[in-house]
Amino acid sequence: MCGIVGYIGKREATPILLEGLKRLEYRGYDSAGVAVLQNEKIEYKKRTGRVAELSRAALNNGLSGTLGICHTRWATHGGVTEENAHPHLSNDGKIALVHNGVIENYLSIKKFLTSKGITFYSETDTEVFVNLIAYHYEKEAESPNRFKESVRRSLKHIEGTYGIAAICRDCPDEMVGARKGSPLIVGVGENEYLIASDVSALVSRTSNVVYLNDGELVSIKNGELSLVDYEEKTLKPEIHQVDWDTSEGELGDFEHFMLKEIFEQSEAIQNAMRGRFSDDESSAKFGGLNLSAQELRQIDRILFCACGTAWHACLVGEYLIERYARIPVEVEYASEFRYRNAPLDKNTLVIVISQSGETIDTLAALKEAKRKGYRTLAINNSVGSTIARESDGGIYQHAGPEVGVASTKAFTSQLMILSMMAVYFGRLRDLSFQEGLECVKGLKRVPELVENAVQQNDAIYKIAEKYKDMTDCLFLGRQDMFPIALEGALKLKEISYIHAEGYPAAEMKHGPIALISKDCPVIVLATQPDIFGKLISNIQEVKARGAPVIAVTCESHPLPEGLADDEIVIPDCHRAALPILASIPMQLLSYHIAKLRGCDVDKPRNLAKSVTVE
């Protein structure tokens, strides 16, 4: 979850490192630090808080050099202090290290190093790691590749996950990196190289990247890149081209990335659809599944695995695929599936969803499914990500970079892909040609309808003003609106710190109704015509107990006048597209409430965008 950037080349490293770190700040913003080799000594600066604080300290104090590493932290071991911030230096000052991940056996290594006279100044596992490298560095005095060899030997003693970048005082022309379970990417520029935990830190400098696999160690020395595994077997680096417009990662005229990304959803959904409908427009088509129609017809069950917002997308996928394709679907938290021995039929297809393609629990669930011989697919938004490379096949979202920690356009992009997948699987089974035509026609209208939905931004702001001081909130929905209720509650919790829960509307009477009062607003997703009467009854039960109601309805099915305190109306749409349209007001309402409460919308406390540690 932390951000790593390293630079080696001919230019001044500090401005390049800090620029990359600003692009990675969504990965962690407890503290930040930078270390540069300057006058045969590793000079460094660390600051708690945001990267801007570090930038002022580093640039004002003249950190100068052409080799350096930096880091923005999401705390795992130890509190948020300058002592615990990265980079960490070895006791002798020779080696500096930045690290993303968790070293599970750090206490036993720390005990060993303490017996050798090593003193520790932080609470982190990373300081143990860098001193282990220094220990091996002293033992490898005769090795021609002393620094790289000391890192390689250290890694063989490490248990856990890591992405690292390291520099050495004695090696002004060398930088070393390695990964296991935590992403690391090498950018190949003109007479310069960068190492980063995310491609967004590199794209302003180069479009050529090498994605490291688990168990690989990279050394950049004297302008040359070498790649080996931990047994010293030489590997051939594979250079990929990154097609990414850096302006997509800029705020433009928007105050926050979250709002910008809400307004980008029409385009993101259009990109998810582009080229993915059949010529006769009766079905969807996907080029990267690597499974034939005959193989897919053999599927008896689908298992979705994901975390957080992506898990909510999976729940929507369950409703859609069971409705249109009649295939039984289960949804698992990836963090639970990886540790339990779930009985699965041999004809089960496992689909994982992760925006970043690096979510540690989702990756582990994918590997567990592959280990047991199940066919796997991935839906993700990051070309070259570990999950994309590990799965048998997959679907790329094409949503563009999502910087705001609270997912918006990535979520609705996932919903669109799942809607298309439901139609695709349905047409392989018993969904008729005419039904397929109607579904595709409805889905192709979604970008335009999303544009209409976001135009209610000002009206939703006025509703947010009424409820910004609430401390509790319930979200209610039925069928495929239940996952949207869960997602709405999550958004509100994430960025405004208001306690919120999502429930199936009919389940309210089985416990949650005890919470309802005038001080607990209830948001009801009353959008489905076939159960509209049931939803009206649920609203009346809420109103009878004095709670204010915010209702989300469709144009053709308004509520009886006066039933809701506030009503947000979304455009009429095909049933397969309804979860996408209903998501928009949930996002805007949460955004405006958080902003009115003075919260840091894009960088909510305790959260990071990409969860790469357990």
pLDDT of 249 reads 64
The confidence score (pLDDT) of residue 251 equals 82
For residue 287, tell me if it sits in a domain.
Answer: yes
247 falls within a domain: no
pLDDT per position as a tens digit, 556-579: 988 888 899 999 999 999 999 999
Tokens of 494: 């994430």
Please write the tens of the pLDDT for every residue from 313-349: 999 999 999 999 999 999 999 999 988 888 888 899 9
pLDDT digits (tens, 9 = 90+) for 584-611: 999 999 999 999 999 999 989 888 777 7
Residue with more model confidence, 437 or 76:
437
- Same domain flag for 309 and 440: yes
Q: Does 214 share its domain with 72?
A: yes
- Asked if the structure places residue 608 within a domain, the reply is no
- Three-class DSSP category at 40: coil
- CATH code, 233: 3.60.20.10
Please report, to the nearest 10 degrees, the dihedral formed by the alpha carbons of residues 249, 252, 253, 257 taken in order: 10
- The reply to whether 171 belongs to the active site is no
User: Based on the domain organization, do 463 and 417 belong to the same domain?
Assistant: no
pLDDT value of position 467? 96
Residue in 2, 70, 520, 573 annotated catalytic: 2
Domain that includes residue 167, residue range: 3-242
Together in a domain, 213 and 83: yes
Same domain, 225 and 303: no
Instruction: Please name the residue that has the structure tokens 């982190």.
Output: 124
For 326, the token pair is 């009649």
| Section 408-418 average pLDDT | 98
Q: What is the mean pLDDT of residues 296-325?
A: 96
Cβ pair 500, 540 in contact under 8 A: no
Which candidate in 110, 148, 491, 609 is catalytic? 609
Whether residue 449 lies inside any domain: the answer is: no
Does 505 score more than 70 pLDDT? yes
- Contact in structure between 16 and 34 (CB atoms under 8 Å): no
Share of the chain above pLDDT 70, in %: 98
| Cα–Cα separations (whole angstroms), residue 317 to 164, 357, 413 | 36, 18, 12
Residue of 567, 494, 467 whose CA lies nearest to 525: 567
406 and 538 in a single domain? The answer is: no
Considering the domain architecture, whether residues 434 and 294 belong to the same structural domain is answered as yes
> How many separate domains does the chain show?
3
Residue that is last in its domain, among 179, 207, 242: 242
In a domain, 524, yes or no: yes
Three-class SS of residue 523?
Answer: strand
For the chain, give the mean pLDDT: 93
In a domain, residue 610? The reply is no
The verdict on 401 and 428 lying in the same domain is yes
Nearest one of 15, 217, 198, 197 to 99, comparing CA atoms: 197
Q: Is the pLDDT of residue 47 over 60?
A: yes
- Residues 330, 477 within the same domain: no
How many angstroms from the chain centroid is the CA of residue 230? 29
pTM summary value: 0.89
Taking alpha carbons only, the member of 125, 126, 44, 32 closest to residue 80 is 32
**Contact (CB, 8 A) for 244 and 401:** yes
Give the pLDDT of residue 20.
Answer: 92
Is residue 262 located within the same domain as residue 121? no
State how beta strands 301-306 and 329-333 pair: parallel
Are 463 and 588 members of one domain?
Answer: yes
Q: Is 609 a residue of the active site?
A: yes
Name the helix (H) or strand (E) containing 390.
helix 386-390
- Residues 350-386 pLDDT 10s: 999 999 999 999 999 999 999 999 999 999 998 888 9
Domain C-terminal end among 425, 444, 463? 444
Least confident of 210-219, 236-245, 589-598: 236-245
pLDDT computed for residue 464 by the predictor: 98
